[in-house]
Protein backbone atom coordinates (compact mmCIF):
# COMPACT_ATOMS: atom_id res chain seq x y z
CA UNK A 1 0.00 0.00 0.00
CA UNK A 2 1.16 3.54 -0.76
CA UNK A 3 2.59 5.35 2.23
CA UNK A 4 3.09 9.10 2.32
CA UNK A 5 3.35 12.27 4.36
CA UNK A 6 0.41 14.65 3.88
CA UNK A 7 0.89 18.33 4.73
CA UNK A 8 -2.21 19.95 6.28
CA UNK A 9 -2.63 23.28 4.47
CA UNK A 10 -4.35 25.01 7.36
CA UNK A 11 -4.17 28.51 5.90
CA UNK A 12 -7.06 30.97 5.67
CA UNK A 13 -6.47 32.20 2.13
CA UNK A 14 -5.36 31.08 -1.32
CA UNK A 15 -2.51 33.61 -1.25
CA UNK A 16 -0.97 32.30 1.97
CA UNK A 17 -1.39 28.73 0.75
CA UNK A 18 0.32 29.37 -2.58
CA UNK A 19 3.12 31.36 -0.91
CA UNK A 20 3.76 28.32 1.25
CA UNK A 21 3.67 25.87 -1.69
CA UNK A 22 5.95 28.14 -3.74
CA UNK A 23 8.76 27.31 -1.31
CA UNK A 24 8.87 23.73 -2.55
CA UNK A 25 11.31 23.49 -5.47
CA UNK A 26 10.18 22.32 -8.88
CA UNK A 27 11.79 19.12 -9.94
CA UNK A 28 11.34 17.39 -6.59
CA UNK A 29 8.17 15.40 -5.97
CA UNK A 30 5.33 17.72 -4.99
CA UNK A 31 4.01 16.99 -1.49
CA UNK A 32 0.63 15.33 -0.94
CA UNK A 33 -1.48 18.05 0.75
CA UNK A 34 -4.68 18.26 2.76
CA UNK A 35 -7.24 20.99 2.12
CA UNK A 36 -9.70 21.41 4.97
CA UNK A 37 -12.91 23.29 5.55
CA UNK A 38 -11.25 26.63 6.31
CA UNK A 39 -9.52 27.00 2.95
CA UNK A 40 -12.24 25.26 0.95
CA UNK A 41 -15.06 27.39 2.32
CA UNK A 42 -13.00 30.54 1.84
CA UNK A 43 -11.78 29.90 -1.69
CA UNK A 44 -14.04 27.20 -3.11
CA UNK A 45 -13.27 24.49 -5.66
CA UNK A 46 -11.01 26.84 -7.68
CA UNK A 47 -8.24 26.53 -5.10
CA UNK A 48 -8.43 22.74 -5.29
CA UNK A 49 -8.12 22.82 -9.09
CA UNK A 50 -5.21 25.23 -8.85
CA UNK A 51 -3.28 23.08 -6.37
CA UNK A 52 -3.98 19.93 -8.41
CA UNK A 53 -2.75 21.72 -11.54
CA UNK A 54 0.53 22.41 -9.72
CA UNK A 55 1.05 18.67 -9.45
CA UNK A 56 0.05 17.96 -5.84
CA UNK A 57 -2.07 15.05 -4.71
CA UNK A 58 -4.98 16.40 -2.64
CA UNK A 59 -6.84 15.02 0.37
CA UNK A 60 -10.05 17.04 0.59
CA UNK A 61 -10.96 16.92 4.27
CA UNK A 62 -14.61 18.02 4.30
CA UNK A 63 -16.03 15.21 6.49
CA UNK A 64 -19.39 14.81 4.77
CA UNK A 65 -22.38 13.67 6.83
CA UNK A 66 -25.93 13.89 5.42
CA UNK A 67 -28.63 11.67 3.93
CA UNK A 68 -27.26 9.11 1.44
CA UNK A 69 -28.62 10.79 -1.70
CA UNK A 70 -27.16 14.18 -0.78
CA UNK A 71 -23.76 12.70 0.07
CA UNK A 72 -23.75 10.65 -3.14
CA UNK A 73 -24.36 13.76 -5.26
CA UNK A 74 -21.86 15.87 -3.33
CA UNK A 75 -19.21 13.15 -3.65
CA UNK A 76 -19.76 13.08 -7.43
CA UNK A 77 -18.95 16.79 -7.51
CA UNK A 78 -15.80 16.34 -5.39
CA UNK A 79 -14.67 13.39 -7.50
CA UNK A 80 -14.96 15.64 -10.55
CA UNK A 81 -12.33 17.92 -8.95
CA UNK A 82 -9.92 15.02 -9.48
CA UNK A 83 -8.91 14.89 -5.81
CA UNK A 84 -7.06 11.83 -4.51
CA UNK A 85 -8.66 11.32 -1.09
CA UNK A 86 -11.91 12.49 0.54
CA UNK A 87 -13.65 11.68 3.80
CA UNK A 88 -16.97 11.40 5.60
CA UNK A 89 -18.34 10.61 9.05
CA UNK A 90 -18.90 6.89 9.60
CA UNK A 91 -21.77 7.98 11.88
CA UNK A 92 -23.75 8.59 8.67
CA UNK A 93 -24.18 4.77 8.59
CA UNK A 94 -23.35 2.16 5.96
CA UNK A 95 -26.18 3.33 3.68
CA UNK A 96 -24.53 6.74 3.46
CA UNK A 97 -21.03 5.29 3.05
CA UNK A 98 -22.11 2.99 0.20
CA UNK A 99 -23.93 5.87 -1.51
CA UNK A 100 -20.78 7.98 -1.16
CA UNK A 101 -18.73 5.30 -2.93
CA UNK A 102 -21.22 5.21 -5.79
CA UNK A 103 -21.11 8.97 -6.15
CA UNK A 104 -17.33 9.04 -6.09
CA UNK A 105 -16.80 6.44 -8.80
CA UNK A 106 -15.97 8.14 -12.10
CA UNK A 107 -17.28 6.89 -15.46
CA UNK A 108 -13.91 5.20 -16.10
CA UNK A 109 -14.19 3.25 -12.81
CA UNK A 110 -11.50 5.21 -10.94
CA UNK A 111 -12.25 7.14 -7.73
CA UNK A 112 -10.48 8.97 -4.90
CA UNK A 113 -9.70 7.01 -1.75
CA UNK A 114 -12.62 7.27 0.69
CA UNK A 115 -11.70 7.52 4.35
CA UNK A 116 -14.02 7.55 7.37
CA UNK A 117 -13.86 9.65 10.50
CA UNK A 118 -14.94 7.44 13.42
CA UNK A 119 -15.29 9.58 16.53
CA UNK A 120 -13.69 13.01 16.51
CA UNK A 121 -10.71 13.16 18.87
CA UNK A 122 -12.31 16.26 20.40
CA UNK A 123 -15.15 14.07 21.69
CA UNK A 124 -14.22 12.72 25.12
CA UNK A 125 -15.65 9.78 27.03
CA UNK A 126 -18.10 12.01 28.95
CA UNK A 127 -19.52 13.61 25.79
CA UNK A 128 -19.80 10.18 24.14
CA UNK A 129 -21.91 8.91 27.01
CA UNK A 130 -23.83 11.99 28.14
CA UNK A 131 -24.44 13.80 24.84
CA UNK A 132 -24.22 11.19 22.10
CA UNK A 133 -25.82 8.62 24.44
CA UNK A 134 -23.31 5.92 23.40
CA UNK A 135 -22.69 3.59 26.33
CA UNK A 136 -19.97 1.58 24.56
CA UNK A 137 -16.46 2.68 25.59
CA UNK A 138 -14.63 4.99 23.20
CA UNK A 139 -12.00 2.53 21.92
CA UNK A 140 -14.59 -0.09 21.12
CA UNK A 141 -16.86 2.49 19.48
CA UNK A 142 -14.01 3.69 17.25
CA UNK A 143 -13.12 0.13 16.20
CA UNK A 144 -16.75 -0.77 15.57
CA UNK A 145 -17.19 2.32 13.33
CA UNK A 146 -13.97 1.38 11.52
CA UNK A 147 -15.22 -2.15 10.90
CA UNK A 148 -18.50 -0.76 9.59
CA UNK A 149 -16.56 1.49 7.22
CA UNK A 150 -14.49 -1.47 6.00
CA UNK A 151 -17.62 -3.60 5.51
CA UNK A 152 -19.16 -0.75 3.49
CA UNK A 153 -16.23 -0.85 1.10
CA UNK A 154 -14.33 2.23 2.31
CA UNK A 155 -10.56 2.36 2.02
CA UNK A 156 -9.62 3.34 5.56
CA UNK A 157 -10.11 5.59 8.57
CA UNK A 158 -8.65 8.68 10.14
CA UNK A 159 -7.30 7.64 13.53
CA UNK A 160 -4.66 8.38 16.12
CA UNK A 161 -1.26 6.84 15.34
CA UNK A 162 -1.68 4.99 18.64
CA UNK A 163 -4.79 3.25 17.27
CA UNK A 164 -3.40 2.36 13.84
CA UNK A 165 -2.06 -1.09 14.71
CA UNK A 166 -5.34 -2.13 16.33
CA UNK A 167 -7.37 -0.84 13.35
CA UNK A 168 -5.20 -2.97 11.04
CA UNK A 169 -5.62 -5.98 13.30
CA UNK A 170 -9.42 -5.67 13.29
CA UNK A 171 -10.07 -4.41 9.76
CA UNK A 172 -7.24 -6.03 7.78
CA UNK A 173 -3.77 -4.99 6.64
CA UNK A 174 -5.17 -3.49 3.44
CA UNK A 175 -7.47 -1.08 5.32
CA UNK A 176 -5.57 2.15 5.41
CA UNK A 177 -4.87 4.41 8.36
CA UNK A 178 -4.56 8.17 8.01
CA UNK A 179 -3.13 9.66 11.17
CA UNK A 180 -2.78 13.22 12.45
CA UNK A 181 -1.12 13.84 15.82
CA UNK A 182 2.44 13.37 14.50
CA UNK A 183 5.31 15.41 15.91
CA UNK A 184 9.10 15.43 15.55
CA UNK A 185 11.05 14.19 18.57
CA UNK A 186 11.67 17.15 20.85
CA UNK A 187 9.13 19.30 18.97
CA UNK A 188 6.17 21.25 20.33
CA UNK A 189 3.04 19.07 20.59
CA UNK A 190 0.78 22.16 20.48
CA UNK A 191 -2.83 21.17 21.24
CA UNK A 192 -2.31 17.52 20.19
CA UNK A 193 -2.54 15.37 23.30
CA UNK A 194 -1.34 11.96 22.15
CA UNK A 195 1.47 12.17 19.62
CA UNK A 196 3.99 9.92 17.87
CA UNK A 197 7.06 10.69 15.78
CA UNK A 198 6.97 9.86 12.05
CA UNK A 199 9.27 6.89 12.68
CA UNK A 200 7.06 5.51 15.47
CA UNK A 201 3.96 6.07 13.30
CA UNK A 202 5.52 3.99 10.51
CA UNK A 203 6.29 1.20 12.95
CA UNK A 204 2.73 1.31 14.29
CA UNK A 205 1.14 0.66 10.89
CA UNK A 206 0.21 4.18 9.75
CA UNK A 207 -0.11 4.46 5.96
CA UNK A 208 -0.48 8.23 5.70
CA UNK A 209 0.63 10.71 8.34
CA UNK A 210 -0.94 14.17 8.32
CA UNK A 211 1.38 16.89 9.61
CA UNK A 212 0.42 20.55 9.80
CA UNK A 213 2.21 22.95 12.09
CA UNK A 214 5.49 21.01 12.48
CA UNK A 215 5.93 21.68 8.75
CA UNK A 216 3.88 24.81 7.99
CA UNK A 217 5.26 26.77 10.97
CA UNK A 218 8.85 25.52 10.69
CA UNK A 219 11.60 28.05 9.99
CA UNK A 220 12.41 25.94 6.93
CA UNK A 221 9.25 24.05 5.86
CA UNK A 222 10.95 22.26 2.96
CA UNK A 223 13.61 20.89 5.29
CA UNK A 224 10.92 19.88 7.83
CA UNK A 225 8.95 18.10 5.10
CA UNK A 226 12.07 16.22 3.92
CA UNK A 227 12.79 15.22 7.50
CA UNK A 228 9.23 13.88 7.91
CA UNK A 229 9.50 11.89 4.67
CA UNK A 230 12.89 10.47 5.63
CA UNK A 231 11.75 9.47 9.10
CA UNK A 232 8.42 8.05 7.92
CA UNK A 233 9.47 6.24 4.76
CA UNK A 234 12.93 5.38 6.11
O1 LIG B 1 -0.92 21.12 12.95
P2 LIG B 1 -1.21 19.68 13.17
O3 LIG B 1 -0.11 18.74 12.74
O4 LIG B 1 -1.75 19.38 14.55
O5 LIG B 1 -2.42 19.41 12.12
C6 LIG B 1 -3.12 18.21 12.10
C7 LIG B 1 -4.21 18.29 11.07
O8 LIG B 1 -5.03 17.12 11.18
C9 LIG B 1 -5.16 19.47 11.21
O10 LIG B 1 -5.62 19.83 9.90
C11 LIG B 1 -6.29 18.91 12.04
O12 LIG B 1 -7.51 19.56 11.81
C13 LIG B 1 -6.36 17.47 11.53
N14 LIG B 1 -6.95 16.51 12.45
C15 LIG B 1 -6.45 16.29 13.73
N16 LIG B 1 -7.04 15.37 14.55
C17 LIG B 1 -8.09 14.67 14.12
C18 LIG B 1 -8.61 14.87 12.85
C19 LIG B 1 -8.00 15.82 12.03
O20 LIG B 1 -5.48 16.92 14.13
N21 LIG B 1 -8.61 13.75 14.91
Residue 147: pLDDT band (50, 70, 90) is: very high
Query: What CA–CA distance (Å, rounded) separates 204 from 165?
Result: 5
pTM: 0.96
Q: Residue 190 pLDDT > 90, yes or no? A: no
State the distance from the centre of ligand 1 to the C-alpha of 158, rounded, in angstroms: 10
State the distance from the centre of ligand 1 to the C-alpha of 233, rounded, in angstroms: 20
Is 71 near ligand 1, meaning CB less than 6 Å away? no
* % of the chain residues with pLDDT over 70: 100
pLDDT of residue 178: 98
Q: Residue 1 pLDDT > 90, yes or no? A: no
Please give the average per-residue pLDDT across 49-71, as a whole number.
98
Is 163 near ligand 1, meaning CB less than 6 Å away? no
Query: What CA–CA distance (Å, rounded) separates 73 from 173?
Result: 30
- On whether the CB atoms of residues 151 and 112 are closer than 8 A, the answer is no
Amino acid sequence: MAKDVIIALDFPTRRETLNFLDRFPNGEGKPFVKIGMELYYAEGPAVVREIKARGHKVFLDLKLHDIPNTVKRAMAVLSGLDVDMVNLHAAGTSAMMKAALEGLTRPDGTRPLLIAVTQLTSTDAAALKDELLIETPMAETVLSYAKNAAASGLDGVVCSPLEAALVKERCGEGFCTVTPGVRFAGGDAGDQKRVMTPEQAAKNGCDYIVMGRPITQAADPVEAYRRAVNEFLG
